[in-house]
Structure formats: C-alpha cells, structure tokens
C-alpha cells in the first residue's frame, strides 16, 4: 500500500537520497515501516534501480532483507543486479565503505546493518569506542522494532560488547523466541551470559519443537560448544532419517574420539551422528558456514591413523551405501582431519 505524505510532513527528507523532500510512503508486507521517499527515489525503488548510496541509506533504516532491498536484487555494496530502468547509471554514487564509516559509532553501526555477514574487520572497527557507548547505541537501534536490525545488534553485542551486555541479552530472550531467531540470540547468550544460563535457556526453548522443526533450530546449540549438548543429542536424535545436521552439531560440541567410539559401538542412530561428525572435521567446499566460523577440532585422538581401522571395522558391520560413502571419504582425507 502506498500513501502520499501530507503537506505538514513534506519537509521530511527522503530516506534514500537524503536530499529531496519525502512525498510518498511505500509500504511492504509486515511491520509498518514505510519507505519515506521522494518521487525520483520512489520510482527507482519500485524498479529495483536504486543507486548504491540510496540503497545503503534505506538499508540502514529497514535492513536489507525486505523484498525491495533484498540480495536478490542488490549486492551488499548496494549495486543493483537487475535494474528495470532504461539508461540506468549509478553516477559515481557509491555506498560508504568500512574505513569511511569507522570514525563514527553511529555510521559504523549503519554499515554493519547493511552487511550480509559480519566478521573480524567489522568487529575490530568498534575497538576505539567505549563498550558502554557501543551498548547504548546497539540498544537504541534495537528499539526500532525491525527484526533484522535487532538480530544485527545481538551479533554485535556477542562479538564487541561481551559480558557488559548480559542484562540486555537476557531481556531479549522472549522476543528472540517469538521472532524465531534463537540462533542469533544463542550466540549472544554464549558470549555474554554466564555459563550455563544461555545453554539451558536455549535447550528449554527447543522443547517446543519436534521433527524437522527441531532440526531447523537446534543449530543454536552450536555456539555453546559444550559436552552437555552431546547428551542432548543422544536423547533427541531420531531413530530414522538422521541428517548430517546432527553430526555437525556434535562436531562443535567438544566431541572426543572416545565418545565417537562409544557411539559407533552403540550403533544407529548415534553411529551415523558419529560418522557425520568426523566428516565435519575435514574442510571442504559447501560446508555449513558455522564450521568455518567455529573451526571445530576432534578432541583426544593422539593417533589419527587409528581412525582408519575403527571405520573399516564399522563399515564391515554396516555396509549401507551411506555408511560406506562417509567412511571412505573420511579415510581418504584423514590427513586433512582437524584434531587436537
């Protein structure tokens, strides 16, 4: 639904160009967060033909996951990939870079909101600012109610603020459950709350789910890297249709070689979890991003060569194609298996 802005508010600047008066509200489905834009930017917004700086300005207020700003149509630098507009040009209107934003806490936070993923460079850029000032900025941004922006603030709390953010992170738990963003909240809980508070809250939240719904959300437990998660896996893994996500979760949860041997001895379904976990320790293209972020290593295996003999023995007992394929893969790539 679109609406013209009345004469009393015509002096409000366009959220995209920040130059001309806003004369139109463009609304999308979901929370009432209209894009308040001038006529020129309204035309480009509808045609997915914003210039990079215009996209950046809107994304800092609305997040980039909205349909009209989505990564299907723009790069994270605001470059339009499918502009539906003749003679489209950016006219040198580039989006701000990290170095250009790093001198201002507000502008740096803006920049982070526009990123698909945040990493070391973004986190380190907050170093010059007092943690208390950073926390105040993040809390203020989260209050606008935008789901993606609130998630970004949680990620920044986890990686920039730490324990000082504990009261705020704790206060966001119910909202995270309501918004179905437990994964993001769990990272902040793991890094900001005293152990094992965040782990127990996350396990409690997962009690509401079963089957595929549980599998879709249990990755939140990855952030805690706790052996207690292995006990949870043993109690909740399904007897059939065990996906690799169970092994991936086990691999980041301080999994030891002795526990793998135990699970192989028990047999299915835990043996399948053990095999998938071992495979997760071998870096390769297409792995889940969480494995690259956490870089898990197999614990307590002083002789990697012993894995080969154990897997050969297990494959002889369970010669199902899935088992044979995973065992062969691990054996062939033992030299690349990460361990401590």
pTM score: 0.93
pLDDT at 224 over 70: yes
d(CA 191, CA 187): 6
Compute, in degrees rounded to 10, the torsion defined by CA atoms 313, 316, 317, 319.
130
pLDDT at 44 over 50: yes
Structure confidence by residue, pLDDT tens digits, 269-328: 999 999 999 999 999 999 999 999 999 999 999 899 899 999 999 999 999 999 999 999
d(CA 66, CA 30): 9
Burial 5-29 (b: 16+ CB within 10 A, else e): beeeeeeeebbbbeeeebbbbbeee
In this prediction, residues 230-254 reach a mean pLDDT of 97
Structure confidence by residue, pLDDT tens digits, 70-81: 999 999 999 999
In this prediction, residues 88-100 reach a mean pLDDT of 91
In this prediction, residues 74-89 reach a mean pLDDT of 94
């Amino acid at each position: 639904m679109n609406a013209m802005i009345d004469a009393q508010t015509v002096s409000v600047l366009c959220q995209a160009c920040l130059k001309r008066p806003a004369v139109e509200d463009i609304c999308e489905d979901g929370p009432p967060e209209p894009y308040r834009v001038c006529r020129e930017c309204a035309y480009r917004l509808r045609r997915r033909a914003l210039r990079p700086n215009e996209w950046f300005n809107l994304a800092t207020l609305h997040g980039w996951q909205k349909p009209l700003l989505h990564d299907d149509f723009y790069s994270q630098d605001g470059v339009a990939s499918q502009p539906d507009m003749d003679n489209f040009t950016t006219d040198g209107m580039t989006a701000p870079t990290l170095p250009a934003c790093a001198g201002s806490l507000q502008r740096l936070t803006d920049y982070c909101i526009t990123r698909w993923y945040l990493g070391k460079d973004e986190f380190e850029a907050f170093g010059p600012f007092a943690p208390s000032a950073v926390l105040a900025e993040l809390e203020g941004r989260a209050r606008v109610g935008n789901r993606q922006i609130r998630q970004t603030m949680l990620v920044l709390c986890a990686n920039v603020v730490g324990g000082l953010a504990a009261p705020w992170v704790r206060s966001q738990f119910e909202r995270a459950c309501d918004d179905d963003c437990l994964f993001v909240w769990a990272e902040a809980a793991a890094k900001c709350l005293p152990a094992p508070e965040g782990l127990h809250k996350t396990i409690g939240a997962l009690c509401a789910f079963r089957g595929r719904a549980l599998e879709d959300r249990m990755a939140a437990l990855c952030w805690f890297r706790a052996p207690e998660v292995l006990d949870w896996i043993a109690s909740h893994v399904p007897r059939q249709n065990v996906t690799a996500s169970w092994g991936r979760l086990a691999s980041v949860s301080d999994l030891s070689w002795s526990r793998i041997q135990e699970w192989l001895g028990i047999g299915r379904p835990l043996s399948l979890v053990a095999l998938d976990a071992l495979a997760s320790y071998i870096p390769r293209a297409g792995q889940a991003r969480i494995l690259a972020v956490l870089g898990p290593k197999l614990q307590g295996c002083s002789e990697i060569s012993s894995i080969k003999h154990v897997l050969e023995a297990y494959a002889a007992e369970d010669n199902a194609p899935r088992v044979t394929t995973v065992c062969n893969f691990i054996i062939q790539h033992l030299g690349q298996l990460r361990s401590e």
